[in-house]
């Protein structure tokens, strides 16, 4: 990757500066790491140490199917968000200030309504008698309603709608920090626009891609409402199974083991990715 002008090498921390992260660290300890350790403990103890929850889980293929569904849904929505979000962020970063703020508002609008309302709205729009199908049939494009709901398509439409801003903003933040002069230099050295984009702009935007994908993927893994409402039996997620154990059966030990497995799998995926791609480099470190 080309050296980025204007970027200084990180200097070592001065003593005392470390204190700046202390509040955040304590906050995390209290509200994240401590509860997480409790959940890990639930999954391993029931009147003494036990592996029975994990054994029960490993014995039942249903949970692997649900985990597979969860990962499939999450990868797909991350890819779709990137596909839709990249050009949008590019436009936002390169257009006039007025157009940019208009686009910004449009990206933010989905945040103004609750996820539940949005999901129900999709049911109305995408249903057999919904707006989309009625228009398609009125135009004679299809004789019978197209199945847009209660399958992967419905889930992806609902999830990408919710998750897109989480892709666009990190991308936009990184892209707007890219000095347009570099692209001009590339052009003046004879690179066609497409080549300048591929060899200069795209590599410089990689940290944004990495941040956006990480954010969207992590949020997608925890999604509960949208797959449950807009999906079919093929989109039953692990979150659904966890909810059932927690709320219906008060079987918190088992629910905890499901949660820990999900955490480990997602952690494993990240470890694999960062070794493969060098996430440190992608996030802009040196």
Partner 1 sequence: MNRRTVLKSSAALLAAPFLHIRPVRADKGELVVVSWGGDYDTAIRDLAVPAFQKNTGYTVKMDAPPENAKVKAMVQSGNVGWDVILTDIPAVLTLTKDTLLEPLDYGAIDKAKLDKIPKELQQPYAIGQRIYSFNIVYNTNALPKPKHPRDWAEVWDQKHFPGGRTFNFQGGIEPQLEVALLADGVPVDKLYPLDIERAWKMFDKLRPLVSKWYTSHAQAIQLIGADEASVGCTIGPRGITAKHAGAPIDVDYNQGKLASDNWCLVKGVRDKKIAMEFINQALDPKVQAGIAQRVPYGPSNGGAFEFLSASEAADLNTSPDNIKEQFWQNVQWWSTPGADGKTPREAQAERFAKWMVAG
Is 240 within 8 Å of 69 (Cβ atoms)? no
Q: Tokens 């709205």 map to which residue?
A: 121
Distance CA 209, CA 33 (A): 28
Nearest CA among 164, 173, 169 for reference residue 110: 164
**Residue 225 near partner 1 by CB under 8 A:** yes
CB of 236 vs partner 1, minimal distance in Å: 5
**Residue 150 near partner 1 by CB under 8 A:** yes
CB of 207 vs partner 1, minimal distance in Å: 27
CB of 65 vs partner 1, minimal distance in Å: 5
3-state secondary structure of 49: strand
Nearer of residues 145 and 284 to partner 1, judged by Cβ? 145
**Residue 54 near partner 1 by CB under 8 A:** no
Structural element, H or E, at residue 85: helix 61-94
CA distances from 260 to 40, 161, 175 (A): 7, 28, 36
CB of 199 vs partner 1, minimal distance in Å: 41
Tokens standing for residue 194: 């497409």
**Residue 247 near partner 1 by CB under 8 A:** yes
Q: What's the longest Cα–Cα distance across the chain? A: 73
Exposed/middle/buried for residue 286 (C-beta within 10 Å: 0-12, 13-18, 19+): exposed
**Residue 236 near partner 1 by CB under 8 A:** yes
Residues in the chain: 286
3-state secondary structure of 46: coil
CB of 169 vs partner 1, minimal distance in Å: 19
Nearer of residues 36 and 91 to partner 1, judged by Cβ? 36
Site string for partner 1, 84-123 (x = CB under 8 A): ------------------------------xxx---x--x
Site string for partner 1, 3-32 (x = CB under 8 A): ----------------------------x-
Nearer of residues 130 and 177 to partner 1, judged by Cβ? 130
Nearest CA among 200, 178, 179 for reference residue 189: 200
Stretch that binds partner 1, among 6-14, 100-108, 242-250, 268-276 (CB under 8 A): 242-250
Nearest CA among 75, 123, 112 for reference residue 228: 123
Residues binding partner 1 (CB under 8 A): 31, 60, 62, 65-66, 69, 114-116, 120, 123-124, 127-130, 149-150, 222, 224-225, 228-229, 232-234, 236, 240-241, 243-244, 246-250, 252
């Amino acid at each position: 990757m080309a050296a980025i002008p204007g970027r200084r090498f990180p200097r070592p921390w001065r003593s005392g500066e470390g204190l700046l992260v202390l509040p955040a660290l304590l906050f995390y300890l209290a509200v994240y790491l401590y509860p997480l350790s409790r959940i890990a403990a639930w999954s391993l103890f029931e009147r003494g140490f036990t592996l029975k929850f994990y054994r029960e889980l490993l014995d039942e293929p249903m949970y692997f199917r649900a985990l597979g569904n969860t990962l499939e849904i999450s990868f797909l929505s991350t890819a779709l968000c990137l596909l839709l979000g990249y050009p949008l962020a590019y436009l936002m970063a390169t257009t006039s200030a007025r157009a940019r703020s208009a686009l910004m508002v449009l990206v933010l609008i989905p945040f103004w309504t609750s996820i539940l309302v949005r999901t129900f709205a999709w049911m109305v729009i995408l249903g057999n008698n919904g707006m989309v199908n009625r228009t398609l049939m009125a135009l004679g494009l299809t004789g019978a309603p197209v199945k847009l709901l209660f399958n992967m398509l419905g889930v992806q439409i609902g999830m990408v709608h919710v998750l897109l801003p989480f892709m666009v903003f990190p991308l936009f933040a990184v892209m707007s920090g890219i000095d347009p002069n570099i692209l001009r230099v590339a052009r003046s050295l004879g690179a066609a626009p497409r080549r300048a984009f591929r060899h200069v702009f795209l590599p410089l935007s990689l940290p944004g891609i990495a941040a956006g994908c990480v954010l969207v993927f992590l949020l997608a893994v925890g999604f509960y409402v949208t797959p449950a409402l807009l999906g079919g039996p093929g989109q039953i997620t692990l979150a659904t199974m966890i909810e059932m154990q927690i709320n219906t059966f008060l079987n918190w030990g088992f629910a905890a083991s499901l949660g820990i497995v999900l955490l480990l799998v997602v952690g494993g995926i990240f470890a694999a990715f960062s070794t493969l791609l060098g996430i440190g480099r992608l996030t802009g470190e040196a």
